A and B are shown apart, each in its own frame.
Chain A
Amino acid sequence: MVSPVLIISIGLGTAFALGLLGSTRKTLLFGVTLAALAAMAAISVMWLVALATGATQTAEIHTAGVAPPFAINLRVGIAEAALLATVTLTGFLAALSLRAQLLTLGRGGMAVLLVLVMAISGLVMTRDLFNIFVFIELVAIATAGLVLLSEDTRAVCAGFKFLVVSQIIAILLLVGIIFTYHANGSLNIDDIGATPVAAQGAALAMFLLLIALVIELKPFPANGWALDIYTSAHPGFSAIFSAATGSAALFVVDKVVAPAGAEWLPLLTGIGLLSFVGSNVVALRQDNDRRLLGYSSVGQLGLVLAVIGQRDVLGDAYLYVAGGLVLSHAVAKAGLFWMSAILRGRKLQDWAAIRARAPMVLAFATFIAMLVGLPPFPGFYAKWDLAQALVAAGRLPILGLILLGVLIEAAYLFRWFGFAIKREAPESGLSANMVDCGITFAAVAGGWALGWIWGAIPGQHNVLATLPVLAVVAFIALEPLPAKLKNVLAIAALLGWFALVYGDYDPMRLIFAVVMIPGGAVILLASFSETGRRIGFYPSAMAMYAGLALLLEATTFFEFFAAWEVMTLGSYFLILRGRMSEPHALSYMLFSLGGAFALLAGFALASGGIQPFALDQLGTVTAELAPWVFVLLAIGFMTKTAAMGLHIWLPGAHAEAETDVSPMVSGILLKAGLFGLFVMLMQLGRQSLWGVDLTVVLAWIGAISAFLGAVLSIFQEDAKRLLAYSSISQMGYALFGVALMNHLGWLLAMMFVINHYVYKSMLFLAVGGVYKRTHTKLMYQMGGLITLMPFTFVSVLVGIIAMSGVPPLSGFGGRWIFYNAIMDANLRLPLILIFMAGPIGFLYLFRLIHTIFLGQLKDPHRQLKEAPFWLVLPQMIFAVFLIAFAVLPGMALQKVDGYIGSIFGDQPLVWQGRAITSEFGYWNPVAIMVVIAVVFVAVFLILIAKNHDAQKVKQFNIVFSAERPYRPETTHFAWNFFAPYRKAMGILETPVVTSFWGGVTDGVNGAAEFTRRFYTGNGQTYAAHVLLFVVAVYLIAMGGVA
């Protein structure tokens, strides 16, 4: 093995040697620089591989041939090697990114870059305090030098401010070092650790040391001096500044705090959390991409600082957690800075230019997922382990603040992603070239590789190695294929997976599996109507299905949570594809992440830090914690079922999604929340908190959702929004059924799982087909389409009869089970809402079919054709199923009824032949169907006998208001269809929940707007900030004791 000290000597040596080469041969100079950086990177990677595979041991290098403290010693362990690899690779790639500037500047610039990378590497390796000071000074000077490389005129100011504040830090650090030496007699970190500092004077020394190093991390709010660098420096350099310098500075803090003792950890946690939450809040208001990345960097470094502060509870997982976060941050941030070099515009909206290049979108998505900590990237694993450890140690507030920070970070990152996908792309907004793209994709590859490595560590469940997620990766690779071919493959993949797994499932899981997997395949039939390549659709859809498939497979908390996040991510990308869905997709993502964090906390609370924790052991949680676990998990799952209060994302997300996406996210995705609720209630059962039965609370929420969802639905003019609100109502019913906690309640919910999937998918496809033809979703602009789109009409007719619960279709079965279920329940009052929701359902369903298909046909629509075949086909499959299911409900329900019976230990339904009997009543679906059919046919025959020769009249052969109408627009009664209802019940339309969440976001944004005013751009102010920060921290942390 080559000695790692060569990293320093190569860097330094080459920097000096550049001076010996002729200044005019710039290409050669650049080549030598690159070669040197490559060699440094090679050595680092070699050490990393050797240490990771156990081929070698941690290296202790004594410089000057003398043992410390008489000479400086360097150390390279696994953490150092990983950081060195990050630093040197970033340096190498950044040199490529900076190539034009370096070639203009010549050897001076190149030498400075080499010194910078060398100094950062030195910071990582050294074990000597004074040596740290030297390297920090080197980094500061080199940084200032490189900032000046930028063409941005503001860079001069930024560099100067940076130097000013760097010197303040240097003074603090130097004083700290002097004090430490005075107290300890040694500047070697290991010596300090050996003789703990007890005296108060030494505490001040340690404080100065730590605060100087912490300020190096640019903590919020003492960071104005550094943020201008992000804004004005060349992004190639900003990548080093954020990824390499930041990570190394963190490591130095970690090195110093280890010997300083655990009493310093809360200080780091506090500053870290403040920085993480604060800078993410301020980032919300940024519209310059690089400045936003700057705030995000500061935030991420704060997060890791907080993690360093929690090292006492992380134990063995410390390196895994901190490393996962640091590396995710480094790779993603470097990648984003390099990407920003490709973009000409500096506004966030200018990133819309990347939309033209699908790989760029993939890269952007990868980086954002890494930063937010979504699977399959290291940050995700780290976040999970961190949460486990924090909850096990009882540090819930810290976890809460961290998750809050992540949520705010997700808000601006995904908003930015939404801009990139949906905003108008600037003309020639890209200046793409091979090198910049290559660097960016090196970071992408690095991100995915890290994801694999973090998953492959023994004892972990590797998300990337599961078959469904591999299928997603395969679909990313298959993107160049035509959409129709990919659709065949997607359907085959879903059916193939189902064939693989269906034998392992209990009847309940099987029903969910059928709805989610082959059910998804049926909806995908509709996707055959799309042409071209449909870039982005299949990886997103398959990610959602992969998440759902893994959710059903999950046996441990972690597997469940990972599947949940994969599903969320996939469905977010799917929803975002809709033409107008930018804000709705964002709101979906934020609610989903919020819900997921509730799950994370709930799982952590339940497992008490024990990993892996089996899902079916959830019931073993102590009685004291169980209600809290219940609350957290229920909030998480109800976010997905869009229970009232957490529902505001749903109408927009479902209504604005593409034609074949709406049924997926409505018919299928909502069921994931129900599945979670089933899993939870099966294990936890009834729980009480402060004497309140939590299942009763759930039942109330379900009833309120069922009622208000229906009321809001009838006031919608947009057909898809109407259906979306209807989903809230339907899921409310299901939630109510689950919360009844009796056999029939659960059977009711299972019935809703099946029925809601079928009729909502069918109706969304039908309305989607109409939209394809009429190009509007506003119902009052339609009318009279029955003769032009007869198949679509039939499917809507069947759908609304089934959904309204009118016999003979399958919705009635749901109502029958519902009545039998409530006979057993002790819940009376919420029933009022449920009873009322039923008839209100008729209102919106009738409106849907009437205003679209009946009434007056509009002139622009006279030539319309039936919806495309591939949209109609799945609808017809659903219609046939609904009729068959109405006659033979036992085919799906009998087994699951038996299974639920095994859970509750009762069997209230008797399945006898075709009839079903309960303790209270009976239901004979075949007889119902036959009686209705015979009566209907008989009456129909009578009418035909009399009126077979009725004259078919034209549209306006009616008379009203004393004249024969001639304009459909003035004759079609459609807009504000239930005006009297609005007069009576319009008060229920008041957007209370929307106002509440709007207030929350406005509040956060207001805080951001207020806080950013402190960033005046004045160097003196920034210096004052730093000093005030130090004083404030000193007063708070040490209570002013000297």
Chain B
Amino acid sequence: MEAIKLLRKTMLAGVGLGLAFGVAGVSDTAHAAWEPKKPVEFVVMAGKGGGADKLARLIQSIIAKHKFASKPFTPINKPGGSGAEALVYANTAKNPNHTIMVTLNSFYTTPMRQPGINVDISKFAPIARMAEDTFLLWVNKDSGIKDVSSFVAAAKKAGDKWIMAGTGKGQEDQLLTDFLNTAYGLNMKYVPYKGGGRVAKELAGNNANSTVNNPSEQLGFYQAGKTAAIAAFTPARLELFADAPTFKELGKDFVYFMQRSVVGAPGMSKEAESFYRGVFARVYASDEWQSYMQKKSLYGGFLTGKRLMSYWEREKSIHKAMLKKMGEIK
């Protein structure tokens, strides 16, 4: 009973405008109304082992452990074409009521960069925003750099010999690199690697000068004393990295997140949609999820329904402007 009370609280706090179907979704009568009839396909927009994949597998195990659903959720990785494969797969799902997808920022950028795949993200069912992942600016401890001003001085001196390692081209890491280059008048060279883990390793092994990893990717090397965070792309300082100031404090008003949202395939029925909202609200409220968010320095509250839709609209236009500035799209 405690759990249900807590659940209702979270729902009331988080659902907001989506209240109309939200509460109905968790009430027990609605549960009886719609239940998955077979295992639910949980599409992941990235490859196995990446941040999004680990998240999907964590959610899967929380659902299974607490029996939030009668049928298992099974992650399916569709990493192709920076998420294009996953978007097309979900967009044309044969059984939209049993197909959900965990998304990243490529949810906005990939349909813009590859208009050929013909995906309209406003058609997807807004189930839940589970978190926002944070970004920090990292350097190797050996470099002796302790703050942004010495970073800028060193990077200016090195010119295009300064290597910024990141994940794929046109992705989050490069957007951030681009911001740093413009904001501080730098000419850093962007070298793309496959996956944030490899990027982190290149910095630790001194094969790159700086990176903009998520905390979860650099945590190992940070704890081993090999790398250091010198600034955060968040509105306020992060608990785990209290010494790293935000760019806002440094006079550059720039905040950037990686969204971690769950969407339903286009064409999902209202009943199914509210069922999934109920499931993910419970996942969000679970101890496992809350402690994971804390450990990995994740941001962001639970969003669903119209609020999630308007969040996407806002992020979409921000990304459109950024990509235009970079010349990646027209």
User: Do chains A and B interact in one complex?
Assistant: no
